[in-house]
A = this chain, B = another copy of it.
Amino acid sequence: MAYVAPVRDYQFLFENVFKTDQYSNLKGFADADAGTVAAILEEAAKFAEEVVHPINITGDKEGCTLDPITHEVTAPKGYKEAYKALTEAGWTALSGDPQYGGQGLPHFVNTAFSEMLSGASSAFGMYPGLTEGAISALTAGGTQAQKDLYLPKLISGEWSGTMNLTEPHCGTDLGLLRTKAVPNGDGSYKITGQKIWISAGEHDFTSNICHLVLARLEGAPAGVKGISLFLVPKFIPDADGNPGERNSLQCAGLEHKMGIHGNSTCVMMYDEAKGFLLGAENEGLKIMFYMMNNARFGVGLQGLAIGHAALVAANQFAKDRLQGRALTGPKSPELPADSILVHPDVRRMLLESRALIEGGRAFLAWVSLQADLAHVSEDEKEREKASDYMGLLTPVIKAYLTDKGLKVTQDAMQVHGGSGFTEHFPASQYMRDVRITLIYEGTNGVQALDLVGRKLPSKGGRALQTFLGEIDSYIAAEEADTKVPAYIKALKDTKAKLFDGTMWLMQNGMGNPDAAAAGSLDYLHLFGLTCTAYMWARMAKEAQAQIDAGATDPFFDTKLKIGRVFLERILPDAEAHLIKMKAGSDGLMALTDDQF
């Protein structure tokens, strides 16, 4: 039931599919040639499997503890030591800016590491994950002095970070927030209010915790135009930049949750706590969105990572569990029964899951490569395109990958049969852990609204046009002499449905925003299927090329067999999504409130 990191899969993606060596002239990429990346991935896998995974189940059972007197939080046994090992090995600094002590490797390497960390223990992985969000906000909106003070300690992992958005009466609708900020006159502010569901809000393994807090200045405009972002450290840095005076903030309670028990989900109370403005007054949301987009990508990754971990456990269980006989006659007549791997429906669950995970992983890796290109490409057009893709695809990454992650954990439990429902096997924890990913950082419904209402129309639809154009060009280039025609045909069909759905949105959603919203999640799924069909076409091409070139590694043959399952059993959902979205909103809006 051990965790096995997807090393080989990432090697294939970077080396064969995305050929990242082609970018060796770009900043950061020079140190990330195929050989180096392969070595890093091996080390990352070892760390995830041997250091982090052992504390996953115990952390779930033990949970976090709040001391009611001191308001300090203790994470489960072993977390502190694992975090120490994480920072000492330099994993938190992998893609950090070298100017602040980071290793400056491309994001796609960090994505691979993060999937392994999160798959080995999602609750543990969230601690450094939240810090990454804080780093992105500081990078986007901090002054040089703030960067100099905070970034090195956040990148090294000596300090950690959090995001404080939600209040009891508002989550999605941030315009309603009430936390107050009052200027102290010295450039700092007094922050007062209550924030809830603050992941990693308080714990015992860093010497400081930097809370990024949304608050409202007195007299600020109503709604989202009056929100500012503050950095509120647990210990106020002294003149030397070391943790000084204890700030007047504390964890007032821990949330009782269905899963991710190892992560401390805190109610945070700020009582005239000292905070420092990030960016301009009333423009907090702009910076928060850098952090949020980073977090959304991270949540999509988490959904995929937990799905992968659950699938590993299910594969293992299916091989070990002897029950019944193959319908075509005993496969292991020397044993009392065959393994349940002989049953087509068990294989269906395992292989559909794998098709989703491997397609999703390629999608994730491809988008993280865009994050690199958006920053370091020397071609302005390529930077613009990569940046457009990041914006367009982040909600798809978040919602599509977490929805499929949940499906995979459900099937992993189903493969386990009755054992899956008990807490003696890991299936239940994976399912309980993954469930939050469909909710936090904006529910999947909110992601769909972001895609349809904001990302599609942005800049006259430029991002979408570029994306569809890329797929059309790929099909045109491959169609004539492809060695994997089924994949090209499937991509063409799915992309045509996405185009059809987009046209429907343009014709119906403009005049009636409810119509666009009613179909938005189905549209997002159609989008996710198109992205992963594109990834499968590219993976199949390279796997086939390796086989044709005489490669004997069974990895390539397996890849094509998994791809076939994707074409046969995942893509048929595209048509249903298209039909459902075209049903529009009239049926949904027809009921009065009383009829619910």
Contacts and interface: CB of A to CB of B under 8 A. Distances in A.
B591 A351 contact: yes
A596 B318 contact: yes
Interface string A415-431: 00110111110001001
A314 to B, nearest CB: 9
A108 B431 CA distance: 35
Interface string A565-583: 1001100110110011001
Interface string A445-489: 100110000000000000000000000000000000000000000
A516 to B, nearest CB: 8
A420 to B, nearest CB: 7
A443 interface: yes
Interface string A33-59: 000000000000000000000000000
A439 B423 contact: no
B424 A337 contact: no
B587 A568 contact: yes
A514 interface: yes
Given A257-B421, A323-B170, A521 B588 contact: no
A352 B479 CA distance: 40
Contacts of A418: 166, 171, 197, 439-440
Contact of A596 (B319, B322, B585): B319
Interface in A544-596: 554, 557-558, 561, 564-565, 568-569, 572-573, 575-576, 579-580, 583, 585, 587-591, 593-596
Contacts of A328: 512-514
A569 B583 contact: yes
B585 A344 contact: yes
Nearest to A574: B576
Contact of A345 (B424, B438, B521, B557): B521
Interface stretch (A6-14, A290-298, A369-377, A406-414): A406-414
A413 B347 CA distance: 29
A346 interface: yes
A17 interface: no
Given A421-B257, A576-B576, A449 B345 contact: yes
A158 interface: no
Nearest to A435: B421
A420 B593 CA distance: 21
Contacts of A588: 344, 347-348, 351, 565
Interface string A301-321: 000000000000001001100
A318 B445 CA distance: 14
Interface in A508-522: 512-515, 517-518, 520-521
A176 interface: yes
Given A170-B323, A348-B521, A585-B344, A420 B439 contact: yes
Contacts of A135: none
Contact of A517 (B343, B558, B585): B343
A580 B573 CA distance: 9
A568 to B, nearest CB: 4
A435 B422 CA distance: 11
A547 to B, nearest CB: 14
Contacts of A319: 593, 596
Interface string A321-343: 01110011000000011010101
Given A327-B514, A345-B517, A417-B439, A580 B572 contact: yes
A491 B173 CA distance: 42
A201 to B, nearest CB: 14
A498 to B, nearest CB: 16
A327 to B, nearest CB: 4
A420 B557 CA distance: 42
A518 to B, nearest CB: 4
A417 B435 contact: no
A172 interface: yes
6 contacts: A170-B323, A256-B424, A258-B422, A258-B428, A561-B590, A565-B588
**Leading 10 A-B pairs by shortest Cβ distance:** A568-B583, A344-B518, A327-B513, A345-B445, A344-B517, A256-B423, A258-B428, A572-B579, A347-B588, A173-B323
